[in-house]
Amino acid sequence: MTDNTPAELIARSNRLGADPRNTNYAGGNTSAKGIETDPVTGEDVELLWVKGSGGDLGTLKESGLAVLRLDRMRALVDVYPGLDREDEMVAAFDYCLHGKGGAAPSIDTAMHGLVDAKHVDHLHPDSGIAIATAADGEQLTATVFGGQVVWVPWRRPGFQLGLDIAQIKAENPDAIGCILGGHGITAWGDTSDEAEKNSLWIIETAAAYIEANSRPEPFGPALDGYAALPEAERRAKAAALVPTIRSIASQDKPMVGHFTDSDVVLDFLAAAEHPRLTALGTSCPDHFLRTKVKPLVLDLPADASVEDSIARLRELHVAYREDYQGYYDRNAVEGSPAIRGADPLIVLVPGVGMFSFGKDKQTARVAGEFYVNAINVMRGAEGLSTYAPIDEAEKFRIEYWALEEAKLQRMPAPKPLATRIALVTGAASGIGKAIAKKLAAQGAVVAIADLNLEKAQAAAAEIGGTDVAIGVQADVSDEDAVQAAVDATLLAFGGLDLVVNNAGLSLSKSLLDTTVADWDLQHNVMAKGSFLVSRTAAKVLIEQGLGGDIVYISSKNSVFAGPNNIAYSATKADQAHQVRLLAAELGGHGVRVNGINPDGVVQGSGIFSSGWGANRAAVYGVDEKDLGAFYAQRTLLKREVLPDHVANAVYALVGPDLTQTTGLHIPVDAGVAAAFLR
Ligand SMILES: NC(=O)c1ccc[n+]([C@@H]2O[C@H](COP(=O)([O-])OP(=O)(O)OC[C@H]3O[C@@H](n4cnc5c(N)ncnc54)[C@H](O)[C@@H]3O)[C@@H](O)[C@H]2O)c1
Ligand SMILES: [Zn+2]
């Protein structure tokens, strides 16, 4: 027989996962049981489809489901060795898979398989977790839901929790679900629609109860001086603090960041109870790897100066690391995974906002979303009662769970440029765009700065979503615009590591035809523009203390002398010497400065397509479309130079291989003897 059970399950999961009130990103799981024909025996076989490990309900597909034989999965009860060895059951799930089994079964598989209901949802809604983390959560559950929803005391997810919930369901035949202490909710139904309806009823009933019964100021009265700064002011302060905060979050390993100044965050930090509540830490099991147990909270008012804030953040960082090491030492047992670093993943700055960090932009953004979930949970719990998350030892048992460690160990190795934050100027077109693409393909996140915002955004969108690349508007010859572009990069990605001075244009005129305006334009965009970008970036790189790279896209013409190029070639020579000057000046900060000398890059180049190519083609008596091939014939290798070749050279300079090289220029010209460097 064919069955639409999995399709129904996917549709329900996608609907539930689409609304952030129902569950956090990648949190929770859903399942359905049904009958299919066993292709081996031709007999009916009862199966369990359950969301597998990883992935998000909102975008779940059938390939994300684990498919298990229910009879075998339930037979595990007879061999279950008891609580202290419950983790072994996860490996046993693999022996219950049907066919190829789909996605890997998650730790919550037992809850779905053992509960005697055809459809089961396990979710992490803020409203439900608010009740789950209230000090009197058990009484509240009875008050809010009557007997329809049952309290299940906290227990780390696993086989035993599955047995607990199955038993509670059996003992409470009228119940539609339960509140899992410190954790979330589980609901069930005979049909998919019924399970969904029951899940939503629990979530909405909890939310309505909180709304109607919460005390007016759950986070306490306003703290004098802690109200949000006006938007422009707080963004400027946030950008000024980014280099320090990035370095704090990256002492153990480099991190990418995300910044949020939503009202939820600012209101929380403006209220009197935020220091007590942040110290209590988060509760739902999903949180500990993403946000760590606690955030680092700056204990200064909104109008504290940037200098005072930096000094205090540095002190608090030392204290944070000691505190985290203490937490690890108090709770680690023989066989615990090694400490994973003691830097904060969430940094809160009153009046300004929240900085969250992760191994990539998406992870950093989701960590921030999780902390917003935590704030919502604390608001609900404090509004009704007192917020009482699970205790420290249990938090540690989640964060350093052997099963989680095994998952981390199985993760593919990061790409060579992972965690590196790049800014490429003039990257809406030609060589710059190819460089941005290459850097992103190797794992970097990239800000594409160009004169034309729409073109910059379109180039970014070609590379990926805003977790990978963003477009920003900037005229590199304008000091304020350069600062704004660097600030936008800092706020988008939480730091800066790698700058490519690529913006440029070529007028190609003889000495007598070159006007002062021509001269100024060429020099303003290239010599002055790269000076401004390098200076603004270097300030960040020095403050961050994580080294960095500055690359100049200079030109063969920086060393080659030919006619009709006075302004362009002179400013290219200026850029080339900036490489050497800055390599000398910034080496002490671990910042490497190198350059590329391309030549004859016709394809994709706006410089060529905007008339200059046609002009050159006419001079040489070739078709414009053959100009690249014509230039190739003038080279030693007889090869055409493409934007990707220049991008590859940039990657060679900033990737893992040339770490001891600074002050170098690499020709990418297919061999032009007159431009050999010596
Ligand atoms: N194409 C070649 O053969 C060649 C050879 C050697 C060096 N170069 C250099 O490579 C770089 C890129 O050239 P391309 O061929 O890709 O040209 P391109 O015209 O395709 O790209 C240059 C980009 O720089 C941007 N830009 C111009 N002025 C700017 C400003 N003031 N602020 C911000 N952005 C600005 C433009 O909008 C454009 O998107 C230039 O520095 C150029 O001199 C090119
Ligand atoms: Zn859960």
Encode pLDDT of 297-326 as tens digits: 999 999 999 999 999 999 999 999 999 999
pLDDT at res. 469: 98
As a whole number, mean pLDDT of residues 135-164 equals 97
Centroid of ligand 1 to alpha carbon of 445 (angstroms): 21
Rounded-to-integer distance, Cα 531 and Cα 510, Å: 26
Checking if the pLDDT of 1 tops 80, the result is no
CA diameter of the chain: 96
Q: Write the burial class of residue 673 (CB in 10 Å: 0-12 exposed, 13-18 middle, 19+ buried).
A: exposed
The CB of 543 under 6 Å from ligand 1? The reply is no
Q: What is the pTM of this model?
A: 0.96
Rounded-to-integer distance, Cα 8 and Cα 150, Å: 27
Centroid of ligand 1 to alpha carbon of 619 (angstroms): 22
Partners of 22 in beta bridges: none
The CB of 158 under 6 Å from ligand 1? The reply is no
Partners of 120 in beta bridges: 31, 188
Q: How many C-beta atoms lie closer than 10 Å to residue 280's C-beta?
A: 17
Could you read off the pLDDT of 423-474 as tens digits, one per residue? 999 999 999 999 999 999 999 999 999 999 999 999 999 999 999 999 999 9
Q: How many C-beta atoms lie closer than 10 Å to residue 634's C-beta?
A: 14
Could you read off the pLDDT of 52-63 as tens digits, one per residue? 998 899 999 999
How many CA atoms lie within 13 Å of 158's alpha carbon, on the beta-carbon side?
21
Mean pLDDT estimate for the chain: 96
The CB of 476 under 6 Å from ligand 1? The reply is yes
| Structure-token match 């000057």, residue found | 581
Rounded-to-integer distance, Cα 111 and Cα 560, Å: 72
- Long-range contacts from 304-308, C-beta under 8 angstroms, 24+ separation: 306/237, 306/240, 306/241
Could you read off the pLDDT of 372-385 as tens digits, one per residue? 999 999 999 999 99
Under DSSP, is residue 662 helix (H, G, I), strand (E, B) or coil?
coil
The residue nearest atom 36 of ligand 1, judged by CA position, is 426
Q: How far is CA 658 from CA 65, 579, 649, 650, 652, in A?
A: 44, 16, 11, 11, 7
**Structure tokens, 352:** 């300004």
Closest ligand 1 atom to the C-alpha of 503? 24
Under DSSP, is residue 599 helix (H, G, I), strand (E, B) or coil?
coil
How many CA atoms lie within 13 Å of 326's alpha carbon, on the beta-carbon side?
7
Rounded-to-integer distance, Cα 497 and Cα 384, Å: 46
Rounded-to-integer distance, Cα 74 and Cα 569, Å: 77
pLDDT at res. 496: 98
Instruction: Kindly name the residue from 226, 324, 387, 568 that is annotated as catalytic.
Output: 568
pLDDT at res. 3: 62
Checking if the pLDDT of 511 tops 50, the result is yes
The CB of 484 under 6 Å from ligand 1? The reply is no
For strands 665-668 and 591-598, give the pairing: parallel
The pLDDT confidence band at residue 2, using thresholds 50, 70 and 90, is very low
209 among known catalytic residues: no
Residues 6+ apart with CB under 8 A from 585: none
Rounded-to-integer distance, Cα 417 and Cα 439, Å: 7
Checking if the pLDDT of 256 tops 70, the result is yes
Rounded-to-integer distance, Cα 395 and Cα 398, Å: 5
Q: What percent of the chain has pLDDT over 90?
A: 93
The CB of 481 under 6 Å from ligand 1? The reply is no
Could you read off the pLDDT of 398-413 as tens digits, one per residue? 999 988 888 888 899 9
Q: What is the 3-state secondary structure (H, E, C) of 89-106?
A: HHHHHHHHEEEEEECCCC
Rounded-to-integer distance, Cα 602 and Cα 674, Å: 20
Closest ligand 1 atom to the C-alpha of 524? 31
Q: Which amino acid is at 392?
A: E
Rounded-to-integer distance, Cα 194 and Cα 315, Å: 54
By most ligand atoms within 8 Å of CB, the mutation choice from 423, 431, 477, 502 for ligand 1 is 431
Q: How large is the C-alpha radius of gyration of the chain?
A: 30
